[in-house]
């Protein structure tokens, strides 16, 4: 029989017997700290194992005191069902209500209520407390949950409680094994002879011995030396289980509670999220348009600012779309749940204000309400993977998104993402532009880039009328210096294929007809005569401006025009020659080599009538043209 794994978390007011009940069920005392034993209260998270027929449960025992709610939220992360504890002699208390709200905000939907300390009350009182608890739970996810009276001291009701938990586990849908590995760290310590060990509930994906992992947001790398679940070593583990990870190459201080273990290159931290939030009805006043809060997500707690996107204020008990600006990087993904807490206690609910669900991560900052964007976010809550991918690609613009980025931004099984991309390509919604990374770009963004390229070339014609067009390098520097080269090339090829740009020596707008300014025509003619007259002894390029009595820029523009026309040929960085003079020299040189087989420096000076200043670059020019081959101090004709 396949063993079913799940995580059971406790919740409830301080001193209502959570730890005692866990010890009675599992035989494990989860209070491990001397301070906990001395004070008789749970301060840190405790862990145990509960074996039931066909089921292995990891049990997370959380503190009940209001001061330790951060630890409680960390422990509630990743649980499948809750063991909600209410003492029969006290009934519902403030932390009972706050813990109930937190579990509901974190999306816990299944649980059992353990009515503890029944040995301290009579049957009539027990009946009254049971009815009161049922009434207090009305409207919550525990409204119809089983209520099991127990006494850890006498053992009463423990069998019924185990049976109830076992039945509830069967009703909890098993977690999909797919996903990007995420282990929020809730405890870290050192084991002599082994080194650093972290524990947590693997909320997504899988881990295996030997894999490299990253502790985020610190960014420390480590290697998994060993894995244990419930005290037994394993080679690999999938989501939904408690796990202890022995890390190599990392110190305890580099992976404290609040870090998240991930595989390198798959996930990152974010400083800003868009979310759907809700606030408790116990709020004494509406949540303002901008509010300072504490965000609890996974095992992290960070200060943040909430900006409402669809209203001016959020009334108690209401919901809204909001952007959350985080004071420190947070490792979250779409569909993750979080808790919002304030800085002033509320009546019967501690400091808990509400919570929410992450819709998008790594988003642009929005400083005020934006109804249009809020409507888009609302639609995203109901969107298919293909619709979400299309939205994120459109938001990314011409930069596009790699396959790993899409997998992080759009939470869906790997197969679903690939299938969605295939449908989007078939529908011509997006285009694959880099097979090595699986990077895609939205067709709208690509069309916008094409329009920008065409506009840039048209502006270039106005700014430089004497030049026939812009080079690729000039165009890229003007329009897309930071874009992936393959996206720029793709947009350029499409513009040429559609006839909106012509690819000649340079890029030319389809509607452009070359026309040179009269002033440039005069300079070009003057420079052309200069090169014809100079023959094989032309001036250096830097001396042209003085020879023409124009600026350096005007001389360079005239020279470029002559080069494009083919009247002048650049031989070196400093010298250009008349094309006619070069052609005549080439004929003489080849005739000489046919007659003499080789030519040395002296013969070259005689053939050109020029000094070494000109013969050396001319010889190198003919070598580069592969007409001649230099061998020692002579050149021969290349066959």
- pLDDT exceeds cutoff 50 at 370: yes
Residue the block writes with tokens 């894995």: 227
Q: With 0-12 CB in 10 A as exposed, 13-18 as middle and 19+ as buried, what is 576?
A: buried
Q: Beta strand pairing status for 232-234 and 350-361?
A: unpaired
Average pLDDT, the chain: 87
Report how far residue 186's alpha carbon sits from residue 9's, in angstroms, rounded to the nearest whole number.
13
> Which H or E element spans position 518?
helix 518-534
Report how far residue 532's alpha carbon sits from residue 465's, in angstroms, rounded to the nearest whole number.
26
Q: How far is CA 546 from the centre of its chain?
A: 57
* Whether the Cβ atoms of residue 12 and residue 19 lie closer than 8 Å to each other: no
pLDDT in the model for residue 44: 56
Candidate ranges 230-239, 466-475, 517-526; pick with highest mean pLDDT: 230-239
- pLDDT exceeds cutoff 60 at 496: yes
pLDDT in the model for residue 225: 94
Report how far residue 23's alpha carbon sits from residue 17's, in angstroms, rounded to the nearest whole number.
10
Query: What are the DSSP calls for 233-270, one per residue?
Result: EESEEESSSEEEEEEES--GGGS-BTBEEE-TTT---E
Domain ranges within the chain, ordered by starting residue: 4-171, 183-262, 270-377, 518-637
pLDDT digits (tens, 9 = 90+) for 88-109: 998 888 888 888 888 888 888 9
Residue 531 confidence class, pLDDT cut points 50, 70, 90: very high
Q: Angle between the 385-396 and 371-381 helix axes, to the nearest 10 degrees?
A: 150
DSSP state of 541: G
pLDDT in the model for residue 601: 92
pLDDT in the model for residue 42: 47
Domain formed by 270-377, architecture = Beta Barrel (2.40)
DSSP state of 182: B
pLDDT in the model for residue 6: 87
pLDDT in the model for residue 509: 64
Average pLDDT score over residue span 539-559 = 88
pLDDT digits (tens, 9 = 90+) for 499-526: 887 776 566 565 655 444 445 567 888 8
pLDDT in the model for residue 612: 92
Report how far residue 133's alpha carbon sits from residue 611's, in angstroms, rounded to the nearest whole number.
107
Q: How many CA atoms lie within 13 A of 635 on its CB side?
A: 25
- Top-confidence residue, 478 or 470: 478
pLDDT in the model for residue 441: 96
Domain formed by 4-171, architecture = 3-Layer(aba) Sandwich (3.40)
Candidate ranges 64-68, 228-232, 404-408, 552-556; pick with highest mean pLDDT: 404-408
Q: Angle between the 69-76 and 94-105 helix axes, to the nearest 10 degrees?
A: 40
Residue 193 confidence class, pLDDT cut points 50, 70, 90: confident
pLDDT in the model for residue 68: 47
Q: How far is CA 572 from the centre of its chain?
A: 49
pLDDT in the model for residue 513: 53
pLDDT in the model for residue 520: 56
In sequence order, what are the beta bridge partners of 304?
293, 326
- pLDDT exceeds cutoff 90 at 540: yes
pLDDT in the model for residue 36: 40
Q: How many CA atoms lie within 13 A of 66 on its CB side?
A: 18
pLDDT in the model for residue 154: 92
C-alpha pair distances (Å), 513 with each of 436, 503, 509:
40, 14, 9
Q: How far is CA 461 from the centre of its chain?
A: 40
Enter the CATH code of domain 183-262: 2.40.30.10
Q: What contacts 24+ positions apart, CB below 8 Å, involve 43-51? A: 43/68, 43/71, 44/68, 44/71, 44/187, 45/71, 45/74, 45/75, 45/186, 45/187, 46/19, 46/22, 47/187, 47/199, 47/242, 48/22, 48/23, 49/230, 49/231, 50/8, 50/25, 50/26, 50/162, 50/165
Do 518-637 and 4-171 fall under one CATH topology? no
Report how far residue 64's alpha carbon sits from residue 44's, in angstroms, rounded to the nearest whole number.
10
pLDDT in the model for residue 474: 82
pLDDT digits (tens, 9 = 90+) for 610-629: 999 999 999 999 998 888 99
In sequence order, what are the beta bridge partners of 216?
260
Report how far residue 293's alpha carbon sits from residue 304's, in angstroms, rounded to the nearest whole number.
5
Give 545's contacts (C-beta < 8 A, 6+ positions apart). Answer: 551, 552, 554, 555
Tokens in use for 68?
Answer: 């330790």
Q: What percent of the chain has pLDDT over 70?
A: 91
In sequence order, what are the beta bridge partners of 551?
none
pLDDT in the model for residue 52: 92
Report how far residue 615's alpha carbon sits from residue 633's, in angstroms, rounded to the nearest whole number.
13
pLDDT digits (tens, 9 = 90+) for 411-429: 988 889 999 999 999 999 9
* Whether the Cβ atoms of residue 537 and residue 610 lie closer than 8 Å to each other: yes
pLDDT in the model for residue 459: 83
Q: Beta strand pairing status for 111-116 and 81-87?
A: parallel
Q: What percent of the chain has pLDDT over 90?
A: 52
Q: Helical H runs in 81-157? A: 94-105, 123-136
- Top-confidence residue, 511 or 485: 485
Average pLDDT score over residue span 461-480 = 77
- pLDDT exceeds cutoff 90 at 346: no
- pLDDT exceeds cutoff 80 at 157: yes
* Whether the Cβ atoms of residue 240 and residue 196 lie closer than 8 Å to each other: no
Tokens in use for 595?
Answer: 């007659």
Closest Cα partner for 431 from 446, 420, 414?
446
Q: Which fold is adopted by the domain 518-637?
A: Arc Repressor Mutant, subunit A (1.10.10)
3-state secondary structure of 352: strand
pLDDT in the model for residue 517: 44
DSSP state of 175: P
């Amino acid at each position: 029989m396949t063993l079913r794994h799940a995580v059971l978390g406790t919740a409830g007011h301080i001193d209502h017997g959570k730890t005692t009940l866990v010890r009675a069920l599992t035989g494990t005392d989860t209070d491990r700290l001397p301070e906990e034993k001395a004070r008789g209260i749970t301060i840190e998270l405790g862990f145990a194992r509960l074996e039931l027929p066909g089921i292995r449960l990891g049990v997370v025992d959380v503190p009940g005191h209001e001061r330790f709610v951060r630890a409680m939220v960390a422990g509630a992360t990743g649980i499948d069902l809750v063991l909600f504890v209410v003492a029969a002699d006290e009934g519902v208390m403030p932390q009972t209500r706050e813990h109930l709200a937190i579990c509901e905000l974190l999306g816990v939907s299944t649980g059992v209520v353990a009515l503890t300390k029944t040995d301290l009350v009579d049957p009539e009182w027990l009946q009254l407390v049971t009815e009161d608890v049922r009434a207090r739970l009305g409207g919550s996810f525990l409204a119809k949950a089983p209520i099991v009276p127990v006494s850890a001291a006498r053992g009463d009701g423990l069998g019924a409680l185990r049976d109830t938990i076992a039945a509830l586990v069967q009703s909890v849908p098993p977690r999909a094994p797919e996903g990007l590995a995420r282990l929020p760290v809730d405890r870290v310590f050192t084991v002599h002879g082994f080194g650093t060990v972290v524990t947590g509930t693997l909320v997504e994906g899988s881990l295996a011995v030997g894999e490299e992992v990253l502790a985020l947001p610190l960014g420390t790398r480590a290697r998994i030396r060993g894995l244990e679940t419930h005290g037994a070593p394993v080679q690999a583990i999938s989501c939904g289980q408690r796990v202890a990870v022995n890390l190599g190459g990392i110190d305890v201080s580099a992976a404290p509670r609040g870090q998240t273990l991930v595989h390198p290159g798959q996930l990152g931290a974010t400083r800003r999220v868009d979310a759907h939030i809700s606030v408790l009805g116990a709020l004494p006043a509406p949540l303002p348009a901008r509010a300072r809060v504490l965000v609890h997500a996974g095992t992290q707690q960070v200060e943040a600012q909430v900006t409402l996107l669809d209203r001016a204020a959020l009334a108690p008990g209401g919901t809204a779309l909001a952007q959350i600006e985080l004071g420190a990087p947070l490792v979250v993904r779409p569909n993750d749940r979080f808790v919002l807490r304030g800085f002033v206690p509320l009546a019967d609910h501690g400091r808990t204000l509400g919570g929410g669900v992450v819709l998008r991560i790594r988003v642009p900052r929005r400083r005020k309400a934006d109804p249009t964007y809020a409507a888009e976010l609302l639609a995203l809550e109901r969107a298919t993977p293909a619709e979400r991918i299309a939205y994120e690609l459109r938001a990314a613009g011409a930069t596009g998104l790699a396959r790993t980025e899409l997998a992080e931004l759009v939470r869906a099984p790997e197969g679903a993402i690939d299938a969605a991309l295939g449908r989007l390509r078939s529908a011509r919604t997006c285009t694959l532009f880099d097979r090595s990374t699986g990077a895609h770009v939205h067709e709208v963004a690509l069309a916008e880039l094409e329009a920008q390229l065409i506009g840039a070339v048209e502006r270039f014609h106005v700014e430089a009328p004497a030049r026939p067009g812009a080079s690729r390098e000039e165009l890229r520097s003007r329009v897309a210096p930071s874009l992936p080269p393959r996206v720029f090339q793709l947009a350029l090829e499409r513009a040429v294929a559609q006839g909106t740009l012509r690819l000649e020596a340079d890029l030319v707008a389809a509607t452009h007809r070359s026309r040179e300014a009269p002033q440039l025509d005069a300079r070009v003619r003057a420079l052309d005569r200069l090169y014809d007259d100079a023959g094989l002894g032309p001036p250096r390029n830097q001396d042209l401006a003085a020879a023409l009595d124009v600026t350096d820029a005007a001389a360079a523009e005239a020279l470029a025009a002559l080069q494009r026309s083919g009247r002048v040929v650049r031989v070196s960085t400093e010298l250009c020659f008349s094309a006619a003079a070069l052609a005549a020299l080439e004929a003489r040189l080849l005739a000489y080599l046919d007659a003499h087989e080789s030519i040395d420096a002296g013969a070259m000076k005689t053939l050109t009538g020029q000094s070494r200043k000109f013969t050396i670059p001319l010889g190198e020019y003919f070598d580069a043209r592969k007409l001649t081959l230099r061998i020692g101090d002579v050149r021969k004709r290349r066959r």
